[in-house]
Structure 1
Amino acid sequence: MGNHSDVTEFILSRLTARPELQVPLFVVFLLIYGINLLGIGAMILLITTDPRLHIPMYFFLRNLSFCDLCLSLIISPQMLLNFLAERKSISYAACTVQMYLSIIFSDIECLLLAVMAYDHYVAIFNPLLYMVTVSRHLCKQLVAAVYAVGVVDSVIHMCFTFRLSFCSSNIINHFFCDVLPLLVLSCSDTHIKEIVIFASMSSTQVISFVSDLLSYVNSISAILQIRSPKGRHKAFSTCTFHLTSVVLYFGTLFFMYLRPTSSYSMDPDKVTSVFYTLLIPMLNPLIYSLRNMEVKDALRKAMNKLLTNS
């Protein structure tokens, strides 16, 4: 793992150094964390228990929700603790695990968005053969491949990052253990690692984003062939909200990772990280589900059943 014998723990920074903002920010992000746990957890439970939602579209959405939930669980507890703790330390091993898991689920989310865009295209282009084209077996294969890519990519990052030496300082100018703050902190030559980051992000983020755009371009082309104005409006509305989520997520990732090291500025990057680790996962259930009549009906049925039993 390289020469890191001088570092046994890291010190994480807060979003802001202003002491009067620590408690208000703690309350805000505790609320966001609670909404994430309740909203995403409810969505996973609803899709799992309602037979009407056992179709490919919601199978992928459940996996996306699981990734969002995992990202919140990986990032939020340590972040909330740092708002109130005097000593904001994290052990070397815990930092390694946090970075490893955050990369896995970030990659999985990127690739799942591309898979979901393809799924939407098939549902719009050929709805009669949708269940045949996107079969249960194909869904499982796609999700398994997505998870495998995430794990392999994270292992590559871990091998390169923690072979670096951290000898001058152990203070990470970020609220969680991420690749870029550790590169800035390292006293080793990071050129090879920067190349690995660029190649890795190009192969996951860029390819996924291009796949998303191609799928949505084809989807829009198919929508324009729909004769019913009501059908076109409904399809356009769905694509617009999905594409908004894609642009927000990939836009923040591109800003974070596809830049030269000389332009890295950790303070703006901390704010950017909040979007893709906490805020976008909170918005995904609204964007992907509550605009959907099937999910609304399933939620209404579940609420009525809960009220009847109580």
Structure 2
Amino acid sequence: MRLSRRTLLAGIAGAALASAIGSGPAAAQSWPEPGRTITAIVPFTAGGGTDAFARRITPKMSEALGVPIEVVNRPGASSQIGMTELANAAPDGYTIGFQIFPTSLAYLDPERQSAYTRDSFTPIGPAFVVESVLAVRTDSQFETLGQLVEHATANPGVLTAATPGVLSTGHLAAIGFEQATGVDFALVNFQGGGPSVTATLGGHVAVGFFAMNELLPQLESRGGQLRALAVLSDQDNPYEVPTAVSQGFDVPSYAPDVGIVAPAGIPAEAQAALSEALKAALEDPEIIAAAADTGNSIGWESPEDYTARWIEAEERYAPLIELAKQ
């Protein structure tokens, strides 16, 4: 079961108790081997939401495993470069990676010529989920979602909209938003959340589709320069950003879903150890507090449950991936 941000802080005391009565040192395990280093591939640019959370969670996983974890960025081709490197890594458990649904589902589009499929990986588990947000600069003429939709409807193809990349959640959220509201944006796909936020801040685009964790530092209510017009979710949020549905627009929920995977064929012992390390990290009081502060929802799931989530994501996003080709 995933934890909503409203209950995250309430779980700190319980997580602290669970940590205090843990199951013993990593030295009792035969995997990983002492002295080895695990490489964690982030297939996106440094400074984005996935990179930031990966660098928070991997030290906690390292503590649980008893070996260092080194985070490396391998951005490009909407995560395909990093995911390809991960799929081709030695299947020994010492290379893992962070993927995002739907970005990592590029293999559903034959034209993308992905060198991997779901079968190329061993699931470890989900790391976090975060809502998608539609935002503009604070000096924008648009103060409400209704104003934006009205203007975009009257001026099809005129308003530019930033997304974090081709087949990113932001990209497919933008397409889904267009389908639900009848508007037509001129979409501009960047290489990661950081560059898309920067472009919106600089006035190079009129509107942006972001993950909440990437938007928070620039949120108007926190003294930033971006105004969130709507959360593309069916749940309320603690940042007082109204949902699109609450404003009269029947827009489906789009949420970047980040998880950890390894190459296919790693030892079962390695998969189990990595899964337990992820569980320990997600139950750590510091990670729980950080998730609440950065707009992430966290909650451990088994590799089997994560596989089911993966299949569901394929079914949900396949139609939008097809639309993205048009």
Q: TM-score, normalised by structure 1?
A: 0.28
More strand by share: 2
TM-score by length of 2: 0.27
Greater share of helix: 1
